[in-house]
Structure 1
Amino acid sequence: MKNVVILAVVVVFISCQNKSEKKFDELEKMSWLVGEWENKMPEGVLTESWTKANDSTFIGKTLFINEKDTLHSEDIVLTQKGENLLYIPTVKGQNDDKPVEFKMMESKIENEFAFENPKHDYPQKIVYKKVNETNLVATISGKQQGKSSSESYPMKKK
């Protein structure tokens, strides 16, 4: 009888562990994003830095710098709440410096993660595509002044 009780406790413990390990599985699918990314262009250097804050959240920072001038700065929170993966950028000088929430949409393409907010002025869609271990393409798109617009930013891992 004692062995049965011990076995039951072990089974319950293991099953609880398995559930907690899968708690943030949507975010974990994007763990390849963690690190330093860069795109050197004639107009300047675009960098994105991602760190894992905790099991449910990654923190990102995007900078676009021309020589010593910062032309664009963006702080990003990528977090999983329940089953939803949220991409939440805050861009200085836009949206009254308040964060904007984009929700991940279901993707049929492996290693592509699309986030949408149809109510946002521009962009309404943000996509990260893992090309391979050292390359990604970030794309923003939507309607801008009534016309469809899309911009892609290939980046290489540093």
Structure 2
Amino acid sequence: MSRSRLLIKLLIAAVVLAIGAVFWLRRSDTSEGPDAAAEGEVAASPVNELAWLAGCWKHEEPGFRRDEQWMRPGGGTMIGMSRSVAEDRTVEHEYLRIEMREGRLAYVASPSGQGEAAFVSIEITDRTAVFEAPEHDFPQRIAYERMSPRSVLAWIEGDVDGVSRVVEFPMTATSCP
């Protein structure tokens, strides 16, 4: 596999894991226990709609693993991170945020060694989150879909050299470190 294809695959995996974490948070949000007051404070924030993504998610295939973790909504943001490992070596990492920008939710990614990229929401439901940045090189769209309480399908899509591409990352819930 060429280095550029591996990097694209890793970027896609990072995005998928981030989306998966948001699904996990939503699933595990119970508004009980010591965090109930803090969760109540967040209830008015649109970011809280993505609480189902909170938690830890993994995508595995032979020779490759992507882990993604999202914190519960707090202070109007969700914070996430991802790591991609190929052949027992970290090949990519990414810091992620979901926050309000200009009245809409935005997915903000800071991939390893690259500048920040913001994708604005075009669809948010109780099972789906789709973000878009048409001017971005690849991907132009990042999405997460909650398939069940313990599984999320994340994908990235866009044009590469004039050819439409979609890369999917089925993720399952995993214990957080």
Amino acid of the residue matched to residue 80 of structure 2?
Answer: G
Q: Quote how far apart the aligned CAs of 1:110 are.
A: 4.9
Residue 131 of structure 1: aligned partner: 147
RCO (CA 8 Å, sep 6+): is it higher in 1 or 2?
2
Residue 38 of structure 1: aligned partner: 58
Residue 23 of structure 1: aligned partner: 44
Q: CA RMSD in A?
A: 1.9
Of 72, 79, 98, the residue aligned with 2:115 is 98
Amino acid of the residue matched to residue 92 of structure 2?
Answer: H
5+ residue gaps, structure 1: 1-19
Q: Quote how far apart the aligned CAs of 1:74 are.
A: 1.0
Residue 160 of structure 2: aligned partner: 144
Structure 1 residues 53, 133: closer, same or farther in 2, change over 3 A? closer
Are residues 1:119 and 2:135 paired?
yes
Amino acid of the residue matched to residue 152 of structure 2?
Answer: L
Q: Quote how far apart the aligned CAs of 1:112 are.
A: 1.1
Amino acid of the residue matched to residue 105 of structure 1?
Answer: I
Q: Quote how far apart the aligned CAs of 1:23 are.
A: 3.4
Detail structure 1 runs of 4+ shifted over 3 Å in the superposition. Answer: 20-23
SS in 2 for 1:27: helix
SS in 2 for 1:28: helix
What TM-score, normalized to structure 1?
Answer: 0.77
Q: Quote how far apart the aligned CAs of 1:149 are.
A: 0.5
5+ residue gaps, structure 2: 1-40
Of 62, 69, 82, the residue aligned with 1:62 is 82
Which deviates more, 78-87 or 34-43? 78-87
Residue 3 of structure 2: aligned partner: none
SS in 2 for 1:77: strand
Answer with 1 or 2: which has the greater Rg. Answer: 1
SS in 1 for 2:135: coil
- Paired-residue identity, %: 25
SS in 1 for 2:52: helix
Q: Quote how far apart the aligned CAs of 1:123 are.
A: 0.3
What TM-score, normalized to structure 2?
Answer: 0.70
